[in-house]
Amino acid sequence: MPLPGEGRGMRVLIVKLSSFGDVVQTLPTLHDMRQALPLATFDWVVEEAFAPLLRAHVPRLGRVIPLAQRRWRKTPFSASVRAEKAAFTQTLQAESYDVVIDFQGLIKSALIARQARLTPGGWRATYGNGSEDCGYEWPVRFLVQRPQPMPPRIHSLQRYRRLAALALGYPPREDGIAYDELQVTPVQPDGSVMLVHGTTRVENEWPLAHWVQIGQHLVAQGLPVSVPQANAYEENFAKQLCQAIGPQAHMLPRMGLAALAAQMAGCVGVVGVDSGLSHLAVALNLPHVQIFSQPRIWRAGPLGSSYQVAVGGARAPDVDTVWQAWQAVWSVFHNIQHEPQAIPA
């Protein structure tokens, strides 16, 4: 069946609201869709906190449409929130779409997808069933025209890619993961390893004493460390960490995600807990060790790179495990960088 608008260039709406790591992991799917539909225009509905990153560093997007469901939930009936919701709906419906894809698979995201206007013959799609350890609310299959079947066990990144392929009618891809839609220019290369300790989930935290040891090992290796912070709790943690490591550790000032992406792009590597910033390190193609404290490691860890690994799982890893993983990825990365290049015939 031909896709609506295929001849003139389709307009596709991506609905992927949060979280930050999930938004980043959707970028390879945007690459796939562009490869399959080079004339298409892609717009994106996303939580307001993540919109600046998409606007600053994903330049080929059409419209980035922010919404504030997290903030609106605090005072849902206030006049200001009602006005913001009305303005969001007006902005969303200023364009009509040939295909709307809800990559979230939750009722809140499916209802956003339903608000979007369709062109004649257009449709909405999302997941037709749940997959292990992936967020899904079964009523969404009845809120769209084309729910798509998913395997019972699949990595979250591959789940996004499969949904887009089935919705848009091209063969699903499982290799060739590309983050080239993300284009970040480093503010200034600083040669540091960034220690990403912050997380919104307490169960994902790694002890301060462990971070101190990793930082000291890195400094002994000749690598300074940088430590980001996004709130008062993280600032206090970062101060303690830097003081314990010594003068080769510096705490970064608080900054937005777009600026932090540019800061991270100037680093030589990242060690981080399971968080959005760790997924950003993967997208920036940096040597990376991702620390997991939950069994979800199999569905959220890095894919496709020999110098990006996840450690831990059912319980947090110890310092030796993380340090050995860092030494391995650092060695692999530099061996790849120094491989002789083929001479063109």
Q: What percent of the chain has pLDDT over 90?
A: 91
Task: Give the total number of structural domains in the chain.
Answer: 2
Q: At 344, is the pLDDT very low, low, confident or very high (cuts 50, 70, 90)?
A: very low
More confident residue, 227 or 174: 227
- Dump pLDDT digits (tens) for 76-124: 999 999 999 999 999 999 999 999 999 999 999 999 999 999 999 999 9
Q: The CATH number of the domain where 72 resides is what?
A: 3.40.50.2000
| Residue 182 located in a structural domain | no
pTM equals 0.94
pLDDT at position 146, please?
97
Task: Tell me the torsion sign for CA atoms 142, 143, 144, 145.
Answer: positive
**β-bridge partners, 291:** 273, 311
Of 131, 152, 168, at which residue does a domain stop?
168
Are 157 and 246 in a shared domain? Answer: no
Average pLDDT for 252-266: 97
| Residue 345 located in a structural domain | no
CB 137 within 8 A of CB 106: yes
Q: Which domain holds residue 331?
A: 193-337
Mean pLDDT of the chain: 94
The strand order across the sheet containing 193-196 reads 249-251, 225-227, 193-196, 269-273, 288-292, 308-312
CB 166 within 8 A of CB 103: no
Are 107 and 254 in a shared domain? Answer: no
- Dump pLDDT digits (tens) for 327-339: 999 999 999 876 5
| Residue 264 located in a structural domain | yes
